[in-house]
Chains A and B, each alone.
Chain A
């Protein structure tokens, strides 16, 4: 996967990604959006963010042991609490990382 083959792969990935990004922004005048889709767009940010966030903190299944999971859970809970109270990203980053490091240190 090096040389010309590597560049081909990178260009193909780029083309796919750009087509998806450009779809509505570039072609919007030529696409008719059904009413249901338009209503659904109001829920895109919360839904997509939830789908990205939750599995990063909570992982069920075979590879989920408490020692590796606990620091993430703690950091997630503390981070969420700080986020609700302050809505301040820097505060969440500081509180979350400190919690992660603290619990990691406690669990050795």
Chain B
């Protein structure tokens, strides 16, 4: 493990393994989603190389699925790109939340970690990083989640492309994806403080009401409404006993 960011192979391997273990159920759930995206890419008429390549190069399932739907209805390229931008704006939030935790990694590894960022790595990281006082372990855990996730995503969507429309659609297997996010949401709220609970609940309610907004804007509107609600709740309860300066800066998404 010459590239171990903390120079300690044992710690790195342990963190990586723990990340893999955490990600295992999520990998099972992502498989149907990958298959669906692969099938969709073939159905809109992308050549096999592009249908497969998309999952490797873009590596963002929701945006890929949206783009494929837009291609199917003949949308102009500009609309597809703006949709990609809006759907993936949430990655800026994740990037900001992760940055303090992943500072131990050298620049090239941060580029790799950024490329491999997913909703799932954000969700698992926010659950786990409180338990890792040492930053090298966080980097190892991040990669332990992210690398197998990349392998599963590209493999399952490639399978979807190759199998085409021959897959059974009656089983609603794609429903596994919202169930995974449901678990992560509930766990984030159960383990969180009162303002975290408020943020999650408000975001959920607003998202349901804002769903008709175009380009999945409802997701961003709801997320910001939830974050604002959490901040307002926190402020309303008076100034929280929060350490100032560097300690706060490093705390990131863990409540």
Q: Is the CB of A50 within 8 A of B179?
A: no
**Given A21-B117, A75-B175, does the pair A47, B28 have CB atoms closer than 8 Å?**
no
A61 touches B199 (CB 8 A): no
Known: A47-B230, A55-B208, A97-B175. A12 touches B81 (CB 8 A): yes
Q: What interface size band does chain A fall in?
A: 35 or more
B186 pairs with A23, CB closer than 8 A = no
Q: Give A6 Cβ to nearest chain B Cβ, in Å.
A: 5
Query: Which chain B residue lies CB-closest to A40?
Result: B227
Contact of A92 with B47 at beta-carbon distance under 8 Å, contacts A18-B115, A25-B102 already known:
no
Complex CA–CA separation, A57 to B117 (angstroms): 25
Among B11-19, B53-61, B147-155, B161-169, the one that faces the other chain is B53-61
CA distance A5 to B74 in the complex (A): 13
Looking at chain A's contact residues, the main secondary structure is helix
**In the complex, how many angstroms separate the beta carbon of B203 from the nearest chain A beta carbon?**
4
Which residues from 123 to 180 on chain B have a C-beta closer than 8 Å to any C-beta of chain A? 123, 126, 171-172, 175-180
Could you tell me which residues of chain B, from 45 to 102, have a CB within 8 Å of some CB in chain A?
45-47, 50, 53-54, 57-60, 63-64, 67, 71, 77, 80-81, 84-85, 88-100, 102
Could you mark each residue 8-30 of chain A with 1 if its beta carbon is under 8 Å from any beta carbon of chain B, else 0?
A: 11111110111011111110100
The answer to whether B59 and A45 touch across the interface, beta carbons within 8 angstroms, is no
Q: CB-nearest residue of chain A relative to B205?
A: A54
CA distance A17 to B177 in the complex (A): 21
Judge whether B175 and A92 touch: CB under 8 Å.
Answer: no
Report yes or no: B98 in contact with A60, Cβ–Cβ below 8 A. Answer: no
In angstroms, Cα B190 to Cα A55, docked, is: 20
**Residues of chain B lying within 8 A (CB to CB) of residue A56:** 177-178, 181-182
**B231 lies within 8 A of A54 (CB):** no
B255 touches A49 (CB 8 A): no
Assembled-state Cα–Cα distance A68/B71 (Å): 27
Contact present for A9 and B80 (CB under 8 Å):
yes
**Chain B residue, CB-CB nearest to A104:** B172
For window 198-249 of chain B, which residues contact chain A by CB distance below 8 Å?
199-209, 211-212, 218-220, 222-228, 230-231, 234, 248-249
Given contacts A1-B46, A20-B89, A28-B103, contact A43 B222 (CB under 8 A): no
| Chain B nearest CB, measured from A58 CB (Å) | 5
- Once the chains bind, are A6 and B46 in contact (CB under 8 Å)? yes
Chain A interface (Cβ < 8 Å from any Cβ of B): 1-3, 5-14, 16-18, 20-26, 28, 33, 36-61, 72, 75-76, 79-80, 83-84, 87-90, 92-93, 96-97, 100-101, 104
Task: Contacts A10-B57, A21-B115 known; list 4 others, CB within 8 Å.
Answer: A20-B95, A45-B126, A55-B207, A93-B176
